[in-house]
Amino acid sequence: QSEPIRVLVTGAAGQIAYTLLYRIAKGDVFGKDQPIILILLDIPPMLPVLDGVVMELQDCALPLLREIIPTDKIEVGFKDIDAAILVGSMPRKEGMEKKDLLKANVAIFKTQGAALDKYAKKTVQVVVVGNPANTNCLIALKFAPSIPKENFSCLTRLDHNRACSQVAMHCGVSSDKVKNVIIWGNHYSTQYPDVHHAIVNTHGCELGAYKAVKNDAWLHGDFILTVQQRGAAVIKARKLSSAMSAANAVCDHIKDIWFGTKEGEFISMGVYAAGNSYGIPEDLIYSFPVQIKNKRWKVVDGMSTNDFSRAKMNATAAELMEERDAALDFLT
């Protein structure tokens, strides 16, 4: 068996982590032969809760889990890590302005970016989940100049999975029969779920999603709205935000980084936009269709975009630019 890898999860006392930590420790993400040292970082008031999480992880008796390190200290949390899963962020509280929320998160991700730069392995893979995920990821990247920008990504896989599932349900097939949906742009509500290049396998026959669904009005209307507003719908129903599905998406996202995407398939993730061929402004973390090999992602180029798509891709870029500029203002 190989040497254990050090995996940091921030927000480790929270609800996404509660599912995520189990899945990682059990081997669902880094492979069934990869021993793990799990580092659980949260803020000081949550340390007693972390103790409970540690006890439960111990009680799962998982053979791959070699050590668990609960901490509220950045220098312990980020030391020599191979993977950083940044889930913890400041939640929106009653009456809190969007601006104040952004300010608090800029401060958190500036500190964590600097900690990555100082303490983590230079090969560390960084995945940002905490919202606003795209902008938080951009801030962390800017404060970790010694780590390649390609090692940073933010989670839009939950939106991607939601889009796959909606199309699969509409066509009456299982979700693995739908591939190559795209989430463009932000994880937030201007995101553009695009199925112009998606393929549905029905009864052994591969069809473009528009042909398989046979309902352009739905694809241009309710489908997009359902995916964009799914997070809010879950909160309304559960009185809590998506946690099981978010943790599952984090697992899918990191597994694809570690082991690569399937031949002929692509997935969506928020990555640094420099050098993209879609005319998206460069200094953004923007969700694109990507293929991954040897832990390196590559944006899939040359996908045709019609006027409908173009307008939506630009609108989500505009939202991200505005958020980036507001975030950068807090740093000056």
- d(CA 12, CA 220) in angstroms, rounded, equals 38
In angstroms, what is the C-alpha Rg of the chain? 19
- d(CA 205, CA 274) in angstroms, rounded, equals 37
Minimum separation from the CB atom of position 266 to ligand NAI (A): 18
Question: Taking CB under 6 A as the rule, does residue 43 contact ligand NAI?
Answer: yes
Minimum separation from the CB atom of position 17 to ligand NAI (A): 6
Q: Which stretch binds ligand NAI (CB under 6 A): 94-102, 130-138, 258-266, 281-289?
A: 130-138
101 vs 326, beta carbon nearer ligand NAI = 101
Sign of CA pseudo-dihedral 286, 92, 23, 85: positive
Residue 291, classed as helix, strand or coil, is: strand
187 is catalytic: yes
213 vs 251, beta carbon nearer ligand NAI = 251
Annotated binding residue at 130? yes
| Tokens coding 327 | 């975030």
Question: Taking CB under 6 A as the rule, does residue 14 contact ligand NAI?
Answer: yes
Residue 170 DSSP code: H
Phi, psi of 63 (to 5 degrees): -65, -30
Nearest residue to ligand NAI, using CB?
14
| Tokens coding 286 | 């923007």
| Tokens coding 35 | 């021993």
Question: Taking CB under 6 A as the rule, does residue 187 contact ligand NAI?
Answer: yes
Residues linked to residue 40 through DSSP beta bridges, in sequence order: 9, 70
Minimum separation from the CB atom of position 285 to ligand NAI (A): 11
Question: Taking CB under 6 A as the rule, does residue 87 contact ligand NAI?
Answer: yes
- d(CA 99, CA 39) in angstroms, rounded, equals 31
Question: Taking CB under 6 A as the rule, does residue 36 contact ligand NAI?
Answer: no
Catalytic residue among 187, 197, 203, 220: 187
Annotated binding residue at 129? yes
Question: Taking CB under 6 A as the rule, does residue 166 contact ligand NAI?
Answer: no
- d(CA 157, CA 74) in angstroms, rounded, equals 27
Q: In this chain, which of 190, 241, 276, 314 binds ligand NAI, going by CB under 6 A?
A: 241
In contact, 130 and 86? CB cutoff 8 Å: yes
Site residues, ligand NAI (CB under 6 A):
10-11, 13-17, 41-43, 46, 87-91, 108, 129-131, 133, 155, 158, 187, 241-243, 246
Q: What positions carry a catalytic annotation?
A: 187
Q: Which residues are annotated as a binding site for NAD(+)?
A: 42, 105, 129-131
